């Protein structure tokens, strides 16, 4: 498909391409929908194998942000940015300052901050050129580490899922397969361990694995497995906290879990088809854009004037929101992703209607 055909497929308003020769910056910003307000979404840096892969990623991620903003009931629409490059070798102060200037040129239609492959410190440099960056360190006027509320929201999603599966939230002795133990995955494991759960872990980055193994009591650590082995483990819940599109034709037949709850974005490669396959297999799927909304809730709160207690309360409410999704899914016998989408689309339609009143 052409770029315009892809934009039409996902419902995008704008896609921007930026490059800067001296810093080797190559960036794409996708603005999906601004009905609820200015677009908001993180900036991811990866060594994409092709420009087409980067475009595919940013389009799917930005659409997901619209639904995440909608389900979290913040006054923002969805957007996302990706930088093409290796985050371990290709970064520079100047690159992020240049990126800041490009974002500033969008005139306040897009706000961004840290995501996979980027850090709050990266955007301290961007902030020197723009006021459209969020999730900065506390000492720079931001709200701090967004991985903390993200992990908390996923944990609340796990508790809600446990309630539906077993009629209680006790995770003692329950088995989890955690894919990705970086910023969010490692914090989530701390919640699970404190709740008495047991974990298998995997990651492609050995230092992340070493850090989690050294900090996790032996009674809670079931083992470290190879990346391809994580899908077929006999566990209660599969917890994807790395890349998206990992629920697909190849992995679904391998799953032996009762539920999938994790922080990774766009976990279903094909929402309709793969969501239906999980539904037919009786695997409870927690829509990712709902359970991983904690970080978004925090950075959106910065735009109003950061209040930690407000962020905590809204992040904890992910528990109740997910129960609503599961209830609608059960009542209408539809996949959980579709139930969540319907709730969000109803909310966006109500906001569009009230905004027809001009002020």
108: left (phi over 0), alpha (psi -120 to 50) or beta: left
Q: Is the dihedral of CA 306, 310, 312, 314 positive or negative?
A: negative
Q: CA-CA distance, 198 to 55, in Å (whole number)?
A: 37
Q: How many whole angstroms from its chain centre is CA 221?
A: 25
Selection from 131, 105, 99 nearest residue 118 by Cα: 99
Q: CA-CA distance, 29 to 100, in Å (whole number)?
A: 12
Q: CA-CA distance, 10 to 7, in Å (whole number)?
A: 5
Q: Which residues contact 300 (CB under 8 A, 6 or more apart)?
A: 40, 69, 72, 74, 75, 76, 134
Determine the longest span between alpha carbons in the chain, in angstroms: 61
How many Cβ atoms are within 10 Å of 99's Cβ, its own excluded?
28
304 is catalytic: no
Which residue out of 80, 183, 258, 314 is catalytically annotated? 80
DSSP line for 63-77:
HHHHHHHHHHT-S-E
Task: Report in angstroms the alpha-carbon separations of 311 from 152, 185, 294, 346.
Answer: 11, 20, 8, 24
Q: CA-CA distance, 204 to 181, in Å (whole number)?
A: 9
Contact 200, 236 (CB under 8 A): no
- The β-bridge relationship of strands 14-20 and 43-46 is unpaired
Q: CA-CA distance, 262 to 242, in Å (whole number)?
A: 9
- Point out the residues that are catalytic: 80
């Amino acid at each position: 498909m052409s770029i315009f055909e892809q934009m039409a497929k996902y419902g995008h308003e704008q896609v921007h391409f930026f490059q800067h020769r001296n810093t080797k910056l190559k960036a794409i910003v996708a603005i999906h929908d601004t009905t609820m307000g200015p677009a908001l979404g993180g900036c991811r840096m990866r060594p994409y194998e092709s420009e087409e892969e980067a475009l595919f990623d940013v389009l799917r991620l930005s659409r997901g942000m619209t639904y995440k903003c909608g389900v979290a009931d913040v006054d923002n629409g969805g957007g996302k940015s990706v930088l093409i490059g290796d985050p371990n070798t290709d970064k520079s102060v100047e690159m992020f300052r240049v990126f800041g200037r490009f974002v500033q040129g969008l005139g306040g239609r897009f706000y961004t901050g840290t995501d996979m492959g980027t850090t709050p410190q990266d955007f301290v440099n961007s902030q020197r050129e723009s006021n459209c960056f969020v999730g900065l360190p506390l000492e720079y006027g931001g709200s701090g580490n967004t991985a903390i509320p993200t992990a908390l929201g996923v944990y609340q999603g796990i508790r809600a899922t446990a309630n539906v599966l077993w009629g209680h939230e006790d995770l003692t002795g329950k088995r989890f397969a955690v894919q990705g133990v970086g910023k969010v995955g490692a914090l989530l494991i701390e919640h699970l361990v404190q709740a008495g759960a047991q974990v298998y872990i995997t990651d492609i980055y050995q230092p992340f694995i070493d850090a989690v193994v050294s900090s996790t009591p032996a009674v809670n650590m079931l083992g470290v497995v190879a990346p391809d082995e994580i899908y077929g483990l006999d566990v209660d819940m599969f917890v994807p906290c790395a890349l998206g599109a990992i629920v697909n034709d190849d992995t679904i037949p391998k799953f032996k879990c009762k539920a999938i709850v994790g922080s990774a974005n766009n976990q279903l490669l094909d929402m309709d088809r793969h969501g239906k396959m999980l539904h037919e297999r009786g695997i409870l799927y927690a829509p990712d854009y709902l359970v991983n909304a904690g970080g978004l809730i925090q950075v959106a709160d910065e735009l109003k004037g950061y209040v930690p207690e407000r962020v905590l309360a809204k992040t904890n409410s992910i528990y109740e929101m997910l129960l609503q999704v599961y209830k609608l899914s059960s009542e209408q016998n539809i996949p959980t992703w579709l139930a969540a989408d319907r709730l969000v689309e109803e909310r966006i339609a109500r906001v569009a209607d009230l905004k027809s009143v001009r002020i």
